[in-house]
Structure 1
């Protein structure tokens, strides 16, 4: 019961916090400096990144680099034919247990990705609490991003 109460309080406060935050679009170039994510592989799992049970684990929350890691990851994605993408954060969901979160809990960030030249959008889940070498979800390509 205590776990559910704590989870409910954290989820509510995180939701209120995320609703009051400005819409996160492409960041200024200086927010990307010195983040160590370099995509080299496309996942073969059709659910990777698209299913809340298989989020992309970009880590960084413990070092206060969670959003930087997310932006660095997203900026390395391209559409299936190399198209440019736009993306924005839709909010939080999916409370889970993690040693890296406040009181042992974490949340997933939901991002909507739009292929610039079309109306197609995809929703992906990113985990800033845990890290496992990130891959590109199926349906995206990897592009190189110059780091300052």
Structure 2
């Protein structure tokens, strides 16, 4: 019985320590995700100060080019998502309304709390007179310079 227990212990050790591929894959994924720890400025307690509109038509509209508001490590992630959305206005300056549709889309991040990927939040945004809602993907784990997506203006 002792031999079987010892054999199981050895097999467990070999299996747990023998995974070079996953460590290499994790390192490669994190290298792809640049160091993203940009410090944002606030307009007020509920709104980020944003001064630029994106020229890239995918900014915010695709998981691969999500808006990076940061703050998760300081328990400010959801508040930062709202601060970002509060800084936007519709194409003619209309006040926007939004709701969180849920989480999706694992993306590599060196700021992941577990593993090497984080989930994005998907917000549905609309304004008076719009024909439909718009999906905006937001990353609360990484932060980079904020811009308004194409089609939006700034408050």
CA distance in 2, matches of 1:137, 1:108: 16
Q: Of the candidates 73, 92, 110, which is equivalent to residue 84 of structure 2?
A: 73
SS at match of 1:108: strand
Mark the structure with the bigger radius of gyration.
Answer: 2
- The residue correspondences of 1:93-104 to structure 2 (distance < 5 A) are 93-103=104-114, 104=116
* Structure 2 segments unaligned to the other structure (5+ residues): 1-18, 23-42
Residue 122 of structure 1 is aligned with which of 102, 113, 134? 134
TM-score normalised over the length of structure 1 = 0.71
1:125-144 correspondence to structure 2 within 5 Å: 125-143=137-155
User: Could you tell me which of 37, 53, 58 is aligned with 1:47?
Assistant: 58
Aligned CA-pair RMSD: 2.3
TM-score by length of 2: 0.68
Quick check: 1:84–1:117 contact (8 Å CA) kept in 2?
Answer: no
Of 67, 71, 74, 1:63 maps to 74
State the partner residue of 1:6: none
Q: Pick from 99, 102, 107 the counterpart of residue 119 of structure 2.
A: 107
Q: Structure 1: state its 5+ residue gaps.
A: 4-31, 144-148
Hey, what's the Cα distance between the residues in 1 that align with 2:128 and 2:86? 13
Deviation at 1:44, TM superposition (A): 0.3
3-state DSSP of counterpart to 2:48: coil
In the TM superposition, what is the alpha-carbon distance from 1:108 to its structure 2 partner?
0.4
1:36 Cα deviation from its structure 2 partner: 7.7
CA shift for structure 1 position 99: 1.9
Aligned length: 115
